[in-house]
Amino acid sequence: MSIPLVLEKYSGKINTLTIGTAKNGIEDRPFVIKIGGEESLPFLFQEGSLPNKPVIAHEIWDIAPCDWPEELTRAYADVLGNPLEWAQKCIREYKAEMLCIRLQGAHPDFGNKTAQEEAKLISQLLKTIEIPLIIIGCQDNDKDNLILAACSEAAKGRRCLIGNASTDNYKTLTASVLADGHNIIAESPIDINIAKQLNILISDMGLGLDRIVINPTVGALGYGLEYAYSIMERSRLAALSGDKAIASPFICFVAQESWRAKEAKALEQDFPSWGPEVERGIIWEIITASALLQAGADILVMRHPLAIEKINNHITNLMKVKAE
């Protein structure tokens, strides 16, 4: 005798968020991507609707990265330092559905580019791409207040996703995003209470909860991944149980964490028992991404094209269950 499955049914759901703008009045890929909308935990299709698949954003920089391992830079060697060509390579060769540009060159220690320079770059980039865009600052709060406000205005009308906003630095960015019609990334330090508080603070300024994506600041494999997983799972369970203040989709910066792990970039000659570094970093990114998918990630920001290809195939296979 078969034993029936015990299925959970939830009263809440995750907000659906739209990135990108319709072309010719049609909201469809590659111009628009919808995330969120889940009514159950990841890939449990029998328990509730999961209308939108997780999506990968290819990460590009406004400058040539100086600290990326050789295996990673090799994949983009011919375009590093030229973000416009880098974006086209991701789209044409690697079939990117979404781009995430990190404005690292604005950081005082990495070029100190002005807000006007970065706004001009965003304007040029948006003229050459049709897919949705994520814009990330340089992680210097004072500089981000300047450059992200300018970039938000430059991207007006394209409904981008812009971040990161934190509890100490959310007012300027929220005001810009609200004025220019974008979505915002709310960053919290692996803490469900801070994430909820920041969502409330942002929404109190007039930006709807359906325009907020949570960045829970995840760790990589071996560097706090299991703790990040548990916080994301708790947040998702709270949202599905009816807590609307925490019912935002997740964005996870997988590559940023994975490729700075010692195990991902250490040379084989220094640690011969670890195997070749040309494979190790890619594997680190793949495993981290696959775990975060199960924790509820809606957007994965990734770097290596082979890791992206493997995870895209993994997502396709996971979503096949929905159709069966």
Residue 177: which CATH number?
3.20.20.20
Neighbours of 82 (CB within 10 A): 16
The answer to whether the bond into 15 is cis (omega within 30° of 0) is no
Does 186 score more than 60 pLDDT? yes
Residue 81 lies in a domain: yes
Give the mean model confidence (pLDDT) for residues 277-291: 93
* Residue 6 pLDDT grade (very low, low, confident, very high; cuts 50, 70, 90): confident
Neighbour count for residue 215 (Cβ, 10 Å): 23
Is 211 among the domain residues? yes
Q: Is residue 35 part of a domain?
A: no
Q: What is the mean pLDDT of the chain?
A: 93
Q: Return the pLDDT at 7.
A: 85
Between residues 274 and 162, the one the model is more confident about: 162
Rounded to two decimals, the pTM is 0.95
What pairing do the DSSP bridges indicate for beta strands 32-36 and 16-20? antiparallel
The answer, yes or no, to whether residue 323 has pLDDT greater than 90, is: no
Per-residue pLDDT reduced to its tens digit, 130-162: 999 999 999 999 999 999 999 999 999 999 999
Do the domain assignments include residue 205? yes
Residue with the larger pLDDT of the pair 165 and 30: 165
What's the total number of domains in the chain?
1
Assess if residue 8 is contained within a domain: no
| The pLDDT value given to residue 27 | 64
Domain that holds residue 293: 52-323
